[in-house]
Amino acid sequence: MSKVDCKKCRHFRSAPYEAKKEGCYLPANMPQKQTDAFLDEQQIPGDHRAINRRGNCPDFQAEEKSTGFLDWLFSKSA
């Protein structure tokens, strides 16, 4: 298995814009999780450095590439 970077995973959120604390937000890796969206700030993420210490995180999922605005616009007009 190749080395993976946590920052390119879809479960990783970084502070201050995406989450209050930086870490892995996969529910299986979180010590404290909330089911309600309004309690989202109380979640404690998993330690991404400990989970991916060897660079082979078993839960790694690459982020989906978003399409550009012009690609989206031209696909709608066709």
8-35: pLDDT as tens digits: 898 898 888 888 888 998 888 888 888 8
Cα separation, 41 vs 31, in Å, equals 14
51-78: pLDDT as tens digits: 888 888 888 888 887 778 888 888 877 5
Residue 43's Cβ-side half-sphere holds a number of Cα atoms within 13 Å equal to 26
Q: Return the domain boundaries, the chain.
A: 6-77
Cα separation, 1 vs 43, in Å, equals 30
Closest Cα to residue 11, out of 67, 62, 65?
62
pLDDT of residue 76: 75
**What are the tokens at 47?**
């330690």
